[in-house]
Structure formats: structure tokens, C-alpha cells
Chain A
Amino acid sequence: MLDDFLLRALLAGLMVALAAGPLGCFVVWRRMAYFGDATAHAALLGVALALGFALNLYLGIVLVALAMAMTVSALAGRGWAMDTTLGVLAHSALACGLVAVSYLPGVRVDLTSYLFGDILAVSRADLAVIALGAGAVLALLVWRWRALLTATLSEDLAHAAGINPARERLVLTVALAIVVAVSLKIVGALLIAAMLIIPAAAARNLARGPESMALGAIVLGGLAVWGGLQLSLAQDTPSGPSIVVVAAGLFLATTLGRALLQKRSTR
């Protein structure tokens, strides 16, 4: 049944939405949006290294994304100005990736598929890796949920309750690296952060609590994947940007809906 490339694309996208939804909420709550960007941009360097050293593609991306995320965390801990540091690192990583790819001998690498995603080319093997990665991230987040929420709220409160915030930060960093790796084929390096942030931000407009926001982000992310694929098919537009365009539409709709509701309730 997985012969149909459209079905594979949809499944892959939905699985990414399943992991990116709740993780995206933490990215939004912790104001790590740019952090997600930096990690995602580093993914391209991972692609180049994996191809250059004949490593597994996903492994290469996870390793580089992890290295990037750790570097950023370490620098942040030393009191560097965060936005500047991230700006330097994110764009340097992207540029290094682009340059490194051009050095690859023989192979003609289709850069656009890595930059903007190529969800329609998802193979069965890709699907298995994405399922594994997304499943692992989801399980990790569910398992650590309370500790993650507490540490996100306040590191001091976490310490007082016997939770080590540094460990929870590491959990999020690892989850982020995995999500970046499995999303690369779906939305591409330039737009991975959008899949994390936009569904979560849209869900904020509808949610009453952290759990409902995470669920909402999954549902809205899934809707964006489905709608984006339809758009891509009908209009022959690139799949990754199409998914993000639909997600942005959902964000706009929920934001307007919330504003209207608030206006009515204050009357």
C-alpha cells in the first residue's frame, strides 16, 4: 500500500508534524526560535559531510545539528548576546554547507531538494527512518513532559523539585537535532524552523493549557502538511514552501479568530 508516492509523502509529513508540534511548543515557550533556525541551517553542512564521507545522510545531519545546538547552548551559558551569536552561527553554518556541497566530487547534488524539501521523493526507507525519529522524539517528550514543563517555567523551581534543568535542556537539544534530520526531506533546511514555530504559534491562539497547545500544534501541523500537498499537486508548487504557506494561513486564521472572540467577549 506504500507504493503510492502521495501516500508516502502524506505519512512522512504527518509523522514530522507529530514530533514537531510538541517540540515546537517548547521552542516557542523558551524563545528558542532562532536556535531552531541555527540548528536547521546546520543541517545542510551535515548533508555535505554525509555525502563527502559516505555516511548515512540522517546520521550526518543529526550529528552536525547536535554539534551546532551544543555549541549554541555552551555560548549562551557564557553570557554571549544570544541573537548576534545565533545570527553568526546560523548563517555561517548555512554558508559552509553550501560551499562544502560544491566541493563534492562527481556527485551532482540537487541543492534545491535539501533547501526546500522534496516530500514527493520520500522512499520507503526514508519513511522508516522518519517514523523511527519522530516516534523517538514524541516518546522522549511524553516521558519527560512534566520535568520539561517545570524546567521551562523556571530553572529554580525545577531545582527545588529535584529536577536538573541542564538535563532537560539536553533532552530538547537532542530532540531538536532529530526533528531537523527527519524534516529535511519534507520542508527543507530553510523552512524546518517554520514547521516548529508556526503550528505551535497558531495553536497558542486556541489553547487553554500547555497540553492542549501541544495537541493543537500537532493537528494544525498535520492540516498544513495535508493542505500543502494538495496545493503543491494542484498548482505544481514546491512542496516544502507550500506546506509552510498553508501553516501561515492557519496561523492568520486562528489569530484573527481569537481577536474576534476577544472583541465579542469584552463588549
Chain B
Amino acid sequence: MSLIAAQNLAVRLGGREVLHSVALSIDPGEIVTIVGPNGSGKSTLVRALLGVVPLAQGKITRKPGLRIGYVPQKLHIDPTMPLPVGRFLSLPDRQSTARMTEVLGRVGVPDVLAQDMTTLSGGQFQRVLLARALLSRPDILILDEATAGLDQPGTASFYRLIEDVRRELGCAVLAVSHDLHVVMSASDRVICLNGHICCSGAPHVVRDAPEYRALFGHGTGGALALYQHEHDHDHDHDHDHEEHAHAG
């Protein structure tokens, strides 16, 4: 049985139809990436799956007792709230110091437990968010452009970390990205979204699909160059290469 499934989903925000006829389901252990341009409804889809936004139509079924580890795009912590990392990780469920230290070490920020959240760097902050998601021993990790505030090397190492962690835990991953290239290599399935699902399938299938090319390939000259560059070197997704592609 799938972990989470959406049928014939439609969402309206402020009278505007943001999503329509969206159907998707995620199986245990699967890595699914949602890509789409700005304003395509990626974040809205994630928020609908979490149950935050009301549905105009359709329904969402979750496996009973499903544990979701959610890593938001950003999290604003009001400076009026003093919040050490250890306290943040214990929300809403209390965690032992030993386990928090272990998980923080696993995500590469071993020494921040007593630090206030507002003193963390962007990369540290995202890793702490990931640690919090992992502490709930999730069946599925949901990442909503979790690397939006990170630079290219930071993004690459963050996604590498996610892949490693996923292998260890065996959880499913639903990642949202506006940049197909970074997460592409690890994904079992890519869903290209633009208000509705334009196309979906294995990464290379989506990348070559005319719907995807229409959205990403023929937008601007720069994007086209990026696309072709990636296409020329087929399955080569190493990190240096990414940087080169973006620089050009």
C-alpha cells in the first residue's frame, strides 16, 4: 500500500486555481522529485499533502499512523523566542540528549546542541531541520526546496546527505525542486508540475519529454544552454560539472 496518495486533487488559493487534476502516490522507500517553474504549485502540493491547505476537490489518503518528517523551505524563528537547538529538536516530542547528539552528528553538525537557533548559519540551520525530521523516525521525508538558501556546493552536499540517510533509514523521500539537475540522479521518479502534472517518470524520461522541455528547455537562452549542456553528457552528474553548467 502506498504511504500517501492524492486523487484528482484541486486547490484554489484566493479564487485562483493553483492545482487541478493532480494524482500521485508514493510507495515505501521511493524517491520522488517534483519539479516545476516558480508559481507552478509545487509548494502548494506539498502543503496539501501535509494537510495545511484545504482541497477544492479530490482527496488525500495517508497510510494510518504515517510518520512524516518535514523539512520546510525556510523557517522564520521570531527573535523574541529564545530557542536552543536541543529544545527545537524536542518539539513536539521529547528526545533524549544522546539521540539528539547522535542524529546531529549524523547530519554533520555535532556541536550545535546548546546553540540558539538564530546563531546558526544557513547550512547548519537546514541540517538541524533535517535532524528534527529524522528524529521522528519518519516513513517519508518531505523536503520543500530544502536547499533554497544554500549555495551550489552546500546544495550538493545536502542532497548527498539525504541520499545517505535515506539508504540507512529506508524511508521514502518526496523532494520539491525548481532545479532538476541536483536531485535527478537519485530519484526513482520525477513529476513535472505546472498547475497539473505535465509528465512523470524516470529522470531521463522526464528530461527528454517535450512537456518538460517546453517548461524548462525553451524558456530563456540561458536555460536552454543549461539543458543542452546536461543533455550532451547524459548520465554524468558529478558536482564539478553542475557548477560549470550553472556558471555558463
Contact yes or no, A161 B136, CB < 8 A: yes
With A146-B92, A149-B91, A161-B92 as known contacts, state yes or no: A156 contacts B72, CB within 8 Å.
Answer: yes
Cβ contact within 8 Å between A154 and B72 = yes
Which of B44-52, B152-160, B204-212, B230-238 lies at the interface? Answer: B44-52
**Contact partners of A158 in chain B: CB under 8 A:** 92
Distance between Cα atoms of A208 and B82 in the complex (Å): 6
A210→B81 contact, CB < 8 A: yes
Measured CB to CB, the nearest residue on chain B to A149 is B91
Interface string of B66-89 (1 = CB under 8 A from A): 001110100111101111100110
A146-B91 contact, Cβ under 8 Å, with A156-B47, A160-B70? yes
Contacting residues of chain A (101-149) with chain B, CB-CB under 8 angstroms: 146-147, 149
**A156-B47, A156-B50, A156-B52 given; A150·B84 CB < 8 A:** no
Known: A29-B81, A146-B92, A150-B92. A157 touches B75 (CB 8 A): yes
| Nearest 6 Cβ contacts at the A-B interface | A160-B70, A150-B92, A146-B92, A29-B81, A159-B50, A160-B68
**Chain A-chain B contacts (Cβ-Cβ < 8 Å), number:** 69
Residues of B within 8 A of A (CB): 14, 47, 50-52, 68-70, 72, 75-78, 80-84, 87-88, 91-93, 116, 136, 142
From A146, A156, A213, contact of B70 by CB (8 A)? A156
For window 1-48 of A, CB contacts with B under 8 Å fall at 28-31
Bound form: Cα–Cα A207–B81 in Å? 9
Is A153 within 8 A of B136, CB to CB?
no
A58 to B22, CA, bound (A): 51
Q: Chain A contacts of B83 at CB under 8 A? A: 153, 209-210
Determine if A252 is an interface residue (Cβ-Cβ < 8 Å). no
Is A83 in contact with chain B by the CB < 8 A criterion?
no
Q: Which residues of A contact B72 (CB under 8 A)?
A: 154, 156-157
19 extra A-B contacts, CB within 8 A, seeds A153-B75, A210-B81: A29-B80, A146-B91, A147-B92, A149-B91, A149-B92, A156-B50, A156-B70, A156-B72, A160-B68, A160-B142, A161-B70, A161-B92, A201-B80, A204-B82, A207-B82, A208-B82, A209-B87, A212-B82, A213-B82
Contact, CB under 8 Å: B91 / A153: yes
* Neighbouring B residues of A31 by C-beta, 8 Å: 78
CA distance A153 to B142 in the complex (A): 18
Most buried by A among B69, B78, B142: B78
A152 and B124 alpha carbons, distance in the complex (Å): 22
Pick 26 A–B contacts, CB within 8 A, sort by A. Answer: A28-B80, A29-B81, A30-B78, A79-B14, A146-B91, A149-B91, A150-B92, A153-B75, A155-B52, A156-B52, A156-B72, A157-B70, A157-B72, A159-B52, A160-B50, A160-B69, A161-B93, A161-B136, A201-B80, A204-B82, A207-B82, A209-B87, A210-B82, A210-B87, A211-B87, A213-B81
Q: Which residue of B lies closest to A213 (CB)?
A: B82
Interface string of A140-182 (1 = CB under 8 A from B): 0000001101101111111111010000000000000000000
Chain B min CB distance to A76 (Å): 15
Residues of B within 8 A of A157 (CB): 70, 72, 75, 91
Asked whether, in the complex, the Cβ of B51 is within 8 Å of the Cβ of A159, the reply is yes
Inter-chain CA distance A149–B117, complex, in Å, is: 15
Q: Is the CB of A29 within 8 A of B52?
A: no
A129 to chain B, nearest CB (A): 31
Q: Shortest Cβ distance from B94 into chain A, in angstroms?
A: 8
Q: Which partner residue on chain A sits nearest B81 by CB separation?
A: A29
Among candidates B69, B78, B84, residue contacting A209 with C-beta atoms closer than 8 Å: B84
A residues in contact with B93, CB < 8 Å: 146, 161
In the bound complex, CA of A31 to CA of B80 (Å): 9
CA distance A161 to B66 in the complex (A): 10
Q: Which residues of the other chain, B, contact A208 by a CB distance below 8 angstroms? A: 82, 84, 116
| Alpha-carbon distance between A150 and B72 when the two chains are bound, in angstroms | 14
- List the B side residues contacting A29 at CB < 8 Å: 78, 80-81
Chain B residues closer than 8 Å to A28, beta-carbon distance: 80
CB distance from B61 to the nearest CB of A (A): 16
Q: How far is the CB of B8 from chain A (nearest CB, A)?
A: 22
In the complex the two chains form, what is the Cα distance from A100 to B116 in whole Å?
49
CB distance A204 to B87 under 8 Å? no
Q: How far is the CB of B71 from chain A (nearest CB, A)?
A: 9
Q: How far is the CA of A212 from the CA of B83 in the complex (A)?
A: 10
- Whether A153 lies near B70 (C-beta < 8 A) is no
Please, which residues of chain A bring their CB within 8 A of the CB of B142?
Answer: 160
- Nearest neighbor of A31 in chain B, beta-carbon distance: B78
Closest A residue to B73 by beta carbon equals A156
